[in-house]
């Protein structure tokens, strides 16, 4: 039971993160409708999870675990590290955390975010890709169409990253480099919502 409770708490955390991302991206449409959005998201995830609880669900789950967990998850994590540490800026991120928790974290985290974590993730990804063969479950070999389906699943979560980047650059104004520079800067309204916290945030820049 403790393991089940821990698992459910992790699921709630990931689910809340996903909902917050959607609501922050489209606040004019979704703010004030959290209950409805939560219900719709739960129903959609229920439908997506149904194939995994059928008699052949273990084979579907194996495809997802084989291609999504080892291939796309590592690349997404690497992209997140690079964006936070090298584009948003590790010093700015460090100050954000200091503002939230009230004290400076250990400087070890800066080194980890910039170098150690990306290097470890890249090593794990390269090793996983080099040893990644056709999906199997025990002695059962999957047909070619199932392998193609697995690669599609793995790429579905990766494709939005370059697509959104290209779309954002296309919509920005100026030369190519001017567009890129404007996009990697935080928006003017970025920062804490409460006035007293925002004043501290602006003073730390």
Instruction: Output the pLDDT for position 154.
Output: 85
Decide if 142 contacts 135 (C-beta within 8 A).
yes
Is the domain of 43 the same as that of 124? no
pLDDT bucket at 74, cuts 50 / 70 / 90: confident
| Residue 4 clears pLDDT 60, i.e. is over it | no
Is the domain of 49 the same as that of 150? no
Is the domain of 81 the same as that of 163? yes
Residue spans of alpha helices (H) in 26-173: 27-30, 34-49, 57-64, 73-82, 90-101, 108-111, 117-130, 144-156, 160-171
pTM here? 0.76
pLDDT bucket at 11, cuts 50 / 70 / 90: confident
Range of the domain at 76: 57-171
Is the domain of 96 the same as that of 161? yes
Q: Match 């675990």 to its residue by tokens.
A: 65
Task: Classify burial at 54, counting beta carbons within 10 Å of its beta carbon; exposed 0-12, middle 13-18, buried 19 or more.
Answer: exposed
Q: Count of domains in the chain?
A: 2
pLDDT bucket at 10, cuts 50 / 70 / 90: low
Is the domain of 27 the same as that of 88? no
Lowest-confidence region among 1-5, 15-19, 62-66: 1-5
Question: For 129, phi and psi rounded to 5 degrees?
Answer: -65, -40
| Residue 2 clears pLDDT 70, i.e. is over it | no
User: Is residue 197 situated within a structural domain?
Assistant: no
Cβ count near 105 (within 10 Å): 11
Is the domain of 84 the same as that of 149? yes
Q: What is the mean pLDDT of residues 38-59?
A: 89
Which has more confidence, 67 or 202?
Answer: 67
Cβ count near 153 (within 10 Å): 17
User: Is residue 123 situated within a structural domain?
Assistant: yes
Is the domain of 137 the same as that of 79? yes
32: left (phi over 0), alpha (psi -120 to 50) or beta: left
Residue 201 Cα to chain centre, angstroms: 25
Residue 87: half-sphere exposure toward Cβ, Cα within 13 Å: 14
Is the domain of 42 the same as that of 88? no
User: Is residue 194 situated within a structural domain?
Assistant: no
CA gap 198, 189 in Å, rounded: 10
CA gap 205, 203 in Å, rounded: 6
pLDDT in tens, 128-185: 888 877 888 888 888 989 889 888 988 888 898 899 899 999 999 888 999 988 888 8
Is the domain of 81 the same as that of 166? yes
> Which SS3 state, helix, strand or coil, does residue 91 take?
helix
């Amino acid at each position: 039971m403790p393991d089940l409770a821990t698992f459910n708490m992790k699921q709630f955390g990931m689910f809340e993160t996903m909902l917050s991302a959607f609501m922050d991206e489209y606040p004019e449409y979704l703010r004030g409708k959290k209950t409805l959005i939560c219900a719709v998201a739960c129903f959609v995830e229920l439908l997506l999870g149904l194939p995994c609880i059928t008699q052949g669900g273990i084979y579907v789950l194996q495809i997802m675990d084989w291609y999504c967990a080892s291939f796309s998850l590592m690349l997404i994590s690497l992209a997140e590290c690079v964006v936070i540490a090298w584009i948003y800026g590790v010093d700015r991120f460090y100050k954000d955390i200091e503002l939230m928790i009230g004290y400076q974290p250990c400087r070890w985290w800066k080194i980890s975010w910039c170098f150690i974590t990306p290097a470890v993730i890249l090593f794990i990804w390269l090793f996983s890709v080099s040893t990644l063969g056709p999906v199997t479950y025990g002695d059962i070999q999957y047909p070619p169409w199932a392998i193609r389906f697995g690669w599609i699943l793995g790429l579905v979560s990766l494709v939005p990253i370059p697509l959104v980047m290209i779309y954002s650059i296309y919509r920005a104004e100026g030369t190519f480099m001017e567009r890129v520079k404007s996009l990697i800067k935080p928006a003017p309204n970025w920062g804490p919502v409460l006035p007293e916290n925002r004043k501290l945030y602006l003073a730390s820049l």
